[in-house]
Structure 1
C-alpha cells in the first residue's frame, strides 16, 4: 500500500476532465470553484482539456489520458482532482502512467464516474485514492455547503500522518437540483440521518464508489478483488429503482455480499422510486433476502451536498452499537 503526502498551503492542485466537459457547460460554476480553492491558499493548474468539448466528452480517449498523465508526471502538482464525472472515465485506464504514480505518489480525488480511475489506480499501484469532491461539481456549490465539503477535504487531506479520524454526520444535506449557471441561492436542506443496521464493531478495508460505474470495470485488472472482511462503499445518482435492483443483484450474483463484512450505502441523489415509495435501502434489503449483513445507510460520501472524503484502500471501523464510523490507520504519508 502506498500513502500519498498530505497537501500543504501553497501546493498546486491540478484539475482534469476525464469524461464530461464541465469547464465548457458550466463556466460560471467552474470559475467560482477555482476562486474558492485559490482563496484557501492553493494554486490551480489547468489540465490541457480545460475549455474543450467533444460533444458528450472533453476530448478523445487518448487526449483525456494524456491530460491526466501530464498532471500525474508533473512533480509540482501534489493533488489531482477531477472537474466532474460523466460516463467514460474507464476508457482512460489502459493508457495511464501507473509507474509515474508509484515513483511520485500524489492525492487523486473525485467521485461518480471517476470511481473507475480511483479503483483502477489503486488496483494497479496500491496507492490510496480518495472518493471525494470534484472541482466544478463540489467546490462550485454555494456556502455553507461548499465550506462543509471543504472542511472534510482539509481534515482528510491536509493533516499528515494522522492515524485516526472520526466522521461526524453533517446536520443537514441536499440533493436539490438548481441550474448551475443561474443558481444564486442556497439549496433547500433536509435534516440528516444515518441508519446503523447491525450489531457490534466491524473493521475492514474500504473499497467501492459509484455502483453503476463499477460495472464498467468489473472483472478487469482495474477492479480490485473484493476480499473477505472488506467494507463496501456504494452509492449512485439520478437512477430508477429498476436499475438499482439490477445493480445490487449483480453484486449478489457475484458473491460480493457473502464476502464483505459490511456495506456503507451513500445517499442516492434524486432517486426515482417509480411510484413505489421504496428507497435504495429497501431494495438492498430485498436483494439480501434475510442474509445478515451490517449496513450503514445514508452516509454522505456521495453525489449530495455536503460531501465527506473517503480514502479507498484505507481501514475503517464501524461501531453499530455506538453508531459511529472512523478511520483507524494512516491514509497519508508522514
Structure 2
C-alpha cells in the first residue's frame, strides 16, 4: 500500500465533483464547508466541475481530467468532492491510471458514489483512500468515540475509534434552511452486533464501499478484490460494505454477486454499515446479509457507523484494521502501514 503523507495545516485541498454537482440552493452549505477547512488552516482550490442541472457536474471527459489533475498535482494534498451522486462509474475508462500510478499518493476522501472511484484507485494503484465524509458533511463535529476525517488524514500512528452507540433515525439536515449546521441529531441508541451473536476480534486490510455502486465493479478490471486479497494472504481482508437505499432483495442479490466474484475469499471478517434502506416483505436488510454472507465462516459485524446514516466512522482503504466487538467494547483500530 502507498499512503499519502499526513495532511498538515497550510496544505491545499482540492474540491471537484466527479459525480453530482452543487445547485444554487446548496451553495451556501458549500461555502460553509470551505470556510471550515480554511478555519483549520487549509487552502482550498475549487475546480470547474461543480455545476448542477443534470445528473453529473460536467461531461465525463472533463470530470475525469480535473480529478486526475488534482490527484497528480503535488501542491494538492487531498481531494474532497462535495458529495456522491449516481454515475461516477462513467469515469473509470476516462481516468489516466498511468499518471496516477506514477504520482505521489494524494488523499481522496468521500463515500457513497465516490467509492466507485476510490475502490479502483486503491486496488489498481495501491493508494490508500479515505472513506468517511464528503465535503458537505465536513463541518459536523464528530460524536465522542469517532474522529473527523481531517484527523484521520493527519494521523502519524495507529488510531482507535469506538461506537458512540447513538445514530440519526431519519433523514438529513436541511442545508438550505440551515447551511451552517454542525451538530448531528443522534436521537436513537444502538451499537454493533455480530451476525451469529459471538464476540469478534479480527484483523485485516480494509477495503470496500457502497453496495449499490461497487457491486457493478465485480468482474471488471476496476473491482478485482480477489486479486487484492491474494496480495495480502498473511493479513487477510476486512471487507466493509453499506447499503444506501435499495431494498433487501436487491441488496441480497448484490451481496451474493460479490461473493461469487471472490470478494470474500480472503476475508478475515466483514463489516456491514448501518442502513435506513427498506426491508422487503419477506426479508429484512439483516436477513439479506445473513442469506448472502452467513455461510462464509468468518465474523460479520452489523450496524457499524460507516454508511448513509449519521454519524460517520472514517475508514482507510488499505489500512491494517483490528475490529473488536465484545460486550461493551466496540472498537476499530487502524494502522496506516
TM-score of the two chains, using structure 1 as the length reference: 0.87
Q: What residue in structure 2 maps to residue 272 of structure 1?
A: 278
Q: For the residues of structure 2 that align with 1:110 and 1:171, how far apart are their CA atoms?
A: 23
Q: For the residues of structure 2 that align with 1:289 and 1:203, how far apart are their CA atoms?
A: 19
Task: Name stretches of at least 5 consecutive residues in structure 2 with no aligned partner.
Answer: none
In structure 1, the residue corresponding to 2:152 is in which secondary structure? helix
The 8 Å contact of residues 219 and 261 in structure 2, kept in 1 or not, is answered as: no
Which stretch shows the higher mean deviation, 203-212 or 190-199? 190-199
Task: Name stretches of at least 5 consecutive residues in structure 1 with no aligned partner.
Answer: none
Which stretch shows the higher mean deviation, 201-210 or 164-173? 164-173
Q: Does 2:153 correspond to 1:157? A: yes
Q: For the residues of structure 1 that align with 2:24 and 2:92, how far apart are their CA atoms?
A: 24
State the shift of 1:324 in Å.
4.0
Q: Does 2:42 correspond to 1:42? A: yes
State the shift of 1:328 in Å.
5.1
2:189 to 181, 188, 191: 191
The 8 Å contact of residues 225 and 263 in structure 2, kept in 1 or not, is answered as: no
Root-mean-square deviation (Å):
2.5
Q: For the residues of structure 2 that align with 1:188 and 1:265, how far apart are their CA atoms?
A: 19
State the shift of 1:279 in Å.
3.9
Q: Does 2:255 correspond to 1:248? A: yes
Any idea what the Cα deviations from partners look like across 1:130-162, whole Å, max 9, x if unmatched?
A: 1111102x125xx545x77993313311123x1
Q: What residue in structure 2 maps to residue 76 of structure 1?
A: 75
Q: For the residues of structure 2 that align with 1:57 and 1:152, how far apart are their CA atoms?
A: 27
Q: What residue in structure 1 maps to residue 217 of structure 2?
A: 217
The 8 Å contact of residues 316 and 325 in structure 1, kept in 2 or not, is answered as: no
1:126-137 alignment, distance < 5 Å: 126-136=126-136
TM-score of the two chains, using structure 2 as the length reference: 0.86
Q: What residue in structure 2 maps to residue 170 of structure 1?
A: 164
